[in-house]
Amino acid sequence: MTGILYLCATPIGNLEDMTFRAVRILKEVDFIAAEDTRHTRKLLTHFDIHTPLIRYDENCREEAGEKIIERILSGENCACVSDAGIPAISDPGADLAKLAIEVGIKISPIPGANAALSALVCSGLDTAKFTFVGFLPKSAKNRREFLEKLKKCEETLIFYEAPHRLKETLNVLAGSFGNRKIVLAREITKIHEEFIRGNLEEIVQNPGEIRGEFVIVLEGAKNFPEEFSEGSSENFIDFCKNLIETGTDKKSAIRETAKRFNVGRREVYNEILKSGI
């Protein structure tokens, strides 16, 4: 009989979020595949779980993945866990799940805490439709191209980000999306849990304490006015020129144009300079 691969959620901060079923499964399986065995061992010790651990992370996923699949095919049951939350979400567990599916291994989810959804439901932004983005590409060029594809996405967008890259990411988002509503969620379920709400311009200037892992929840694109469809540079100029001619100062006109078309103020400013307005 082939074994089962369990994708087992673990707490994202507060250990009380561990489910009874997760504790039972982690005790019953033959072995646990963990992203960071030292981190997971602390969790297991807390719940008096003594199941053997093996390492499965980004650096060893190919070699370790093959061994894990072989063991499951031979009849052993395995629980895959990430450092926090549900494995396979921005996590190497996704590759293990694909390998298991390819050879016909049964996969069973053990649901639990999830940082992205926890941040979304507390954001105050639209929860009816959303897109989980996860971590942005590290390359500036790839990141710019990636965000360009998301510009007109009307669903709420959810990003993950590490504290040392938060400021850079916020500036990139402001340059790509303009002045939208945004929520920074940090230390979710922990003692210093915090939700920082505002718009991109405000948050770029004052993101609060930059500690812990962040979830960024960003408002989706608004529909462009019919008379200014697609937000081309020509329409930036037309719209901005109309505001200035009706008495709005240039700085305010640029800000309003950027907000209306969901683009960065710098982009609008550059187009206005070229037009000679």
Point out which residues pair with 184 in neighbouring strands. 196, 216
pLDDT at 41 over 50: yes
Q: Which residue has the higher pLDDT, 212 or 155?
A: 155
Q: What is the DSSP letter of 53?
A: E
Per-residue pLDDT tens digits for 65-82: 999 999 999 999 999 999
Residue with tokens 């240039």: 250
pLDDT of residue 233: 57
The predicted structure's pLDDT at residue 271 = 81
Distance between CA 223 and CA 261 in Å, rounded? 9
- Whether residue 53 contacts residue 8, with contact meaning beta carbons closer than 8 Å, is answered with no
Place of tokens 């291994």: 105
Which of 1-33 are b and which e, b meaning 16 or more Cβ less than 10 Å from the residue's Cβ?
A: eebbbbbbbbbbbeeebbbeebbebbeebebbb
Q: Taking a C-beta distance cutoff of 8 angstroms, is the pair 138, 130 a contact?
A: no
| Span 132-191, pLDDT tens digits | 999 999 888 888 889 988 988 999 999 999 999 899 899 889 888 888 999 999 999 999
- Give the per-residue pLDDT at 232: 53
pLDDT at 216 over 90: yes
Look at residue 106 in the predicted model and tell me its pLDDT: 97
Q: What average pLDDT is seen over the chain?
A: 89
Indicate whether 238 pLDDT > 60: yes
Judged by phi (left if over 0) then psi (alpha if -120 to 50, else beta), residue 134 lies in left
Q: Which helix (H) or strand (E) holds 19?
A: none
> Of all residues in the chain, what percent carry a pLDDT higher than 90?
62
The residue that leads in pLDDT, 196 or 225, is 196
Radius of gyration, CA atoms only, the chain: 23
| pLDDT reported for residue 230 | 45
